[in-house]
């Protein structure tokens, strides 16, 4: 359940600890000296990059002079943050904490130049994408990756799913990932999701020329809790990048606006996808 998401709880604990420190006008170095730990540890606790132990929360609350009631509430939140989410059983896939963020986001904007975003992929298309990237992948690991990808997609079927927008370079529609039949099925899946109003899709046509994104793919995740900053996730071949500094997020938001301006309208995009799907099916 989204309301028990340990990844988001971890960020909430950190955000509250940061608010308490700043409210007292204290620096990270100052607090670290009193905690007898490194300033890096305090910073990582506040950003949610490191889970706060119950002792950390108790000691910081003592330093900040908060009430016993708030101390207990924060410790309860920290306890929830240490409970495993369903995705933690797939740690080998290197997508934690991303899946936790994705599961709690209220809005997701995805941009891709090479393949359909994971939340829109069919099993056959996902298999072709994964084996294309990892040619020597163990068959058991491959099946686990497909299983996780399909399980992640269940968030689009929730009673209150996130607002999902996909901005696709037209190359995504033409590249024959898995062959013509797989592509026809994949584009059919995108059309189905759009027609069910689970996603909004816009295609950036070839005629748009050079466009606003320097990254080949990224996702902007936004949250209902205003204390949690938006995050930009860039998945790499070997490691992943999380951007959440205000200036970084603003730059990606700007790129998204430019991409939307250069893209076809949602209706025009569905017509373009339908026509290209016919070409694959033929």
- Separation of alpha carbons 65 and 177, rounded Å: 58
Q: How far, CA to CA in Å, does 125 sit from each of 135, 224, 228?
A: 15, 32, 33
pLDDT tens string 199-209: 999 999 999 88
CA end-to-end distance (rounded Å), the chain: 43
Q: Mean per-residue pLDDT for 260-277? A: 97
Cα torsion 275, 261, 157, 216: sign = positive
pLDDT the model gives residue 51: 79
**Mean pLDDT in the chain?**
88
Taking the domains of the chain in order of start, what are their residue ranges?
Answer: 2-81, 88-281
Q: Which long-range contacts (CB under 8 A, 24 or more apart) does 221-224 make?
A: 221/101, 221/102, 221/105, 221/107, 221/108, 222/105, 222/106, 222/107, 222/108, 223/8, 223/104, 223/105, 223/106, 224/106
pLDDT the model gives residue 199: 97
Q: Could you tell me the strand order of the sheet in which 231-235 lies?
A: 200-204, 163-169, 107-112, 217-222, 231-235, 240-243
Question: CATH topology for 88-281?
Answer: Endonuclease; Chain A (3.30.870)
Instruction: Please give the residue that has the higher pLDDT: either 23 or 97.
Output: 23
Residues 6+ away with beta carbon under 8 Å from 98: 233, 235, 240, 242
pLDDT the model gives residue 243: 86
Instruction: Please give the residue that has the higher pLDDT: either 2 or 223.
Output: 223
- Separation of alpha carbons 220 and 45, rounded Å: 23
Q: Mean per-residue pLDDT for 112-123? A: 96
Q: Mean per-residue pLDDT for 117-140? A: 93
CATH 3.20.20.10 fits 2-81, yes or no: no
Helices 28-35 and 39-47, axial angle in degrees (round to 10): 110
Q: Which long-range contacts (CB under 8 A, 24 or more apart) does 209-215 make?
A: 211/169, 211/258, 211/259, 211/262, 212/254, 212/255, 212/258, 212/259, 212/262, 213/111, 213/113, 213/255, 213/259, 214/255, 215/111
* Tokens representing residue 157 in the block: 């079927």
Q: Mean per-residue pLDDT for 254-279? A: 96
Predicted structure pTM score: 0.75
pLDDT tens string 227-248: 778 989 998 777 788 888 889 9
pLDDT tens string 55-103: 999 999 999 999 999 899 888 888 877 776 665 666 666 666 788 888 8
Strands 163-169 and 200-204 turn out to be: parallel
pLDDT the model gives residue 134: 86
Q: Mean per-residue pLDDT for 32-55? A: 87
- Asked whether 69 and 38 are in contact (CB, 8 A), the reply is no
- Separation of alpha carbons 77 and 274, rounded Å: 47
pLDDT the model gives residue 2: 40
């Amino acid at each position: 359940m989204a309301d028990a998401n340990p990844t988001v709880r971890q960020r909430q604990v950190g955000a509250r600890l940061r608010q308490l420190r700043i409210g007292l006008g204290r620096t990270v170095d100052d607090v670290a000296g009193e905690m007898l730990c490194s300033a890096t540890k305090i910073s990582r606790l506040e950003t949610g990059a490191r889970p706060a132990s119950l002792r950390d929360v108790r000691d910081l609350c003592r330093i900040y002079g908060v009430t016993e009631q708030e101390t207990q509430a924060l410790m309860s939140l920290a306890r929830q943050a240490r409970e495993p989410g369903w995705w933690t059983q797939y740690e080998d896939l290197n997508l934690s904490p991303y899946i936790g963020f994705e599961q709690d986001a209220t809005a997701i904007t995805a941009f891709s130049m090479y393949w359909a975003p994971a939340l829109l992929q069919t099993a056959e298309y996902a298999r072709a994408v994964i084996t294309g990237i990892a040619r020597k992948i163990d068959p058991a690991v491959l099946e686990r990756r497909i299983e996780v990808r399909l399980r992640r997609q269940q968030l689009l079927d929730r009673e209150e799913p996130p607002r999902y927008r996909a901005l696709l370079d037209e190359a995504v529609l033409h590249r024959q990932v898995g062959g013509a039949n797989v592509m026809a099925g994949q584009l059919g899946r995108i059309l189905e999701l759009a027609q069910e109003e689970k996603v909004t899709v816009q295609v950036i046509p070839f005629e748009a020329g050079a466009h606003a994104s320097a990254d080949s793919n990224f996702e902007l995740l936004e949250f209902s809790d205003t204390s949690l900053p938006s995050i930009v996730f860039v998945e790499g071949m070997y490691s992943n990048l999380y951007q959440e500094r205000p200036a970084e997020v603003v730059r990606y938001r700007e790129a998204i606006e430019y991409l939307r301006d250069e893209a076809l309208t949602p209706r025009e995009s569905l017509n373009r996808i339908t026509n290209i799907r016919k070409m694959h099916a033929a």
